[in-house]
Amino acid sequence: MTEMSRVRNSMTRRRSDYLVSIVPASSSSVMRTTAMNGSRVATLVFGVCLCTTITVTTFQLQHKVNSYMNMGSRVYSSPNSDPIIAAAVLPQNNVFAKGGTQKLLTRHDIDFEQLLQQVGSETRQYYSLASTLNVTHDVQIEHMHIKNIGHRGSPYTALENTGRSFLHAAQAGADGVELDVFLLKCGTLVVFHGSGDDTNPGLLDSYCGVEGSILDYTAEEARRLLTFNKHYDEFGCGPDEITHPDDDDTNNHYCYIHTLEEVLVTLRDHPDVKPEFAIKIELKGPSTAAPTVELVRKLDMRHRCHYSSFDHSRIAEVRALDEHAITGALFGDYVPHNFSDIAISVGASEVHLKYDTATFERVRIAHRVGLNTMAWFRGPIGMKEDYLTRYFDVGNEDEEMYKTVLRSGVQSLCVNRPDVLAKALA
Q: What is the pLDDT of residues 1-35, one digit of tens each?
A: 443 333 333 333 333 333 333 333 333 333 333 33
Same domain, yes or no: 160 and 309: yes
Are residues 82 and 196 both part of a single domain? no
Domain boundary among 69, 98, 127: 127
Whether 135 is in a domain gets the answer: no
Cα dihedral angle (238, 243, 244, 249), rounded to 10 degrees? 150
Instruction: Round to whole Å and give the CA distance between 16 and 213.
Output: 40
Residue 142 lies in a domain: no
- Mean pLDDT (whole number) for 400-406: 94
Do 247 and 347 fall into the same domain?
A: yes
Burial class (CB in 10 A: 0-12, 13-18, 19+), 108: exposed
Q: Please give the Cα distance from 245 to 48 (Å, whole number).
A: 53
Residue 105 makes CB contacts below 8 A (sequence gap 6+) with 59, 60, 61, 83
Q: What is the pTM of this model?
A: 0.77
The tens digit of pLDDT for each residue in 261-306 reads: 999 999 999 999 999 999 999 999 999 999 999 999 999 999 999 9
Do residues 174 and 303 both lie within one domain?
Answer: yes
Q: How many domains does the chain have?
A: 2
291: buried, middle or exposed (CB in 10 Å: 19+, 13-18, 0-12)?
middle
CA distance 406 to 51: 45
297 within some domain: yes
Same-domain pairing of 343 and 244:
yes
Q: Are 201 and 99 within one domain?
A: no
Strand locations in 199-302 (E): 200-203, 258-259, 278-283
Share of the chain above pLDDT 90, in %: 60
- Is 119 found in the same domain as 193? no
End residue of a domain, out of 77, 94, 127? 127
- CATH of residue 314's domain is 3.20.20.190
Sign of the CA dihedral 105, 110, 113, 119? negative
Domain final residue pick, 75, 92, 127: 127
Tell me: do 314 and 358 sit in the same domain: yes
Cβ within 8 Å of residue 208, ≥6 positions away: 226, 227, 228, 229
- pLDDT band at 42; cut points 50, 70, 90: very low
Closest listed residue to residue 176, CA positions, set 143, 193, 153: 153
Residue 141 located in a structural domain: no
Q: Angle formed by the axes of helices 289-298 and 260-269, to 10°?
A: 30
The total of other beta-carbon atoms located within 10 Å of residue 319's CB is 19
Residue 132 forms part of a structural domain: no
The answer as to whether 12 is a domain residue is yes
* Chain centre to alpha carbon of residue 215: 27
Are 171 and 268 contained in the same domain? yes
Instruction: Indicate if the pLDDT at residue 213 is higher than 80.
Output: yes
- Domain membership of residue 140 (yes or no) is no
The C-alpha atoms of residue 298 and residue 162 are separated, in whole angstroms, by 21
Whether residues 323 and 386 share a domain: the answer is yes
CB atoms < 10 A from the CB of 59, how many? 18
Domain hosting 86: range is 3-127
d(CA 31, CA 51): 13
Comparing 363 with 42, the larger pLDDT belongs to: 363
- The reply to whether 223 and 319 lie within a common domain is yes
- Domain match, 120 and 235 both: no
Cα three-residue angle 165-170-174, rounded to 5 degrees: 110
Residue at 134 is within a domain: no
Give the per-residue pLDDT at 130. 87
